[in-house]
Amino acid sequence: MKLGDPFLPRMPDQESALPGRNTPISISDEHFILKTSQTVETGQDLEVAMFGMGCFWGAERKFWEIAGVATTSVGYAGGYTPNPHYEEVCSGMTGHNEVVRIIFETRNLSYVDLLKIFWENHDPTQGMRQGNDIGTQYRSGIYCYDDEQLASAHESKKIFEIELSSKGFGATTTEIIPAPNFYFAEDYHQQYLGKNPNGYCGLGGTGVTCSL
């Protein structure tokens, strides 16, 4: 099923989206696994990236395991509702995606390295779903913080679509846009699979290698 499939959920428009609130969700600063600040923005030799690739629990773990990642956090982005709560995002009436925000060390890791991890660890052809997880919050997305990231994301998409096509997959439905506001998810979602090692993880790729 693809992005326009009538059986999949559809994005709300701004007028019908939930109103949200002015107060952001408060979370603890320390990353449960890395013991770094998960609320830091950027710093010397640090860069930020943001991806949506299905349930954010498994996506976050995939990135915190990578050498050169300084910290990770999960949240909501790409919709209309300010400071949404999880239940609101799950309703499909915020327009937000479940995303992982990554702060990485540019001396040890490149943005292209992260794009390769992104493409290989989910199915970017499924539209508003990942496997059994169905909803607008599970869509594939790359949210770029500058023109260089945008260019790299679009080029990587072209390359991976060719590789997917050679293996019988359809076109990608990944949205690639300038980074919208990022809203932290509730504290219990942060590093969820570190706190709950046997918890649900719906992350899964296509088995196709992205040769970036």
Work out the angle at residue 31's Cα, subtended by the Cα atoms of residues 27 and 35, and round it to the nearest 5 degrees.
Answer: 140
55 assigned to active site: yes
- DSSP SS3 for 207: coil
CA pair distance 124, 130, nearest whole angstrom? 8
Residue 49 to residue 41: CA distance in whole angstroms: 11
Out of 55, 144, 201, 210, which one is annotated catalytic? Answer: 55
Instruction: Write phi, then psi, for 134 (nearest 5 degrees).
Output: -115, 130
Give the Cα separation of 203 and 130 in Å (integer): 8
- 75 and 127 Cβ atoms separated by less than 8 Å: no
CA distance 77 to 84: 9
What residues act catalytically?
A: 55
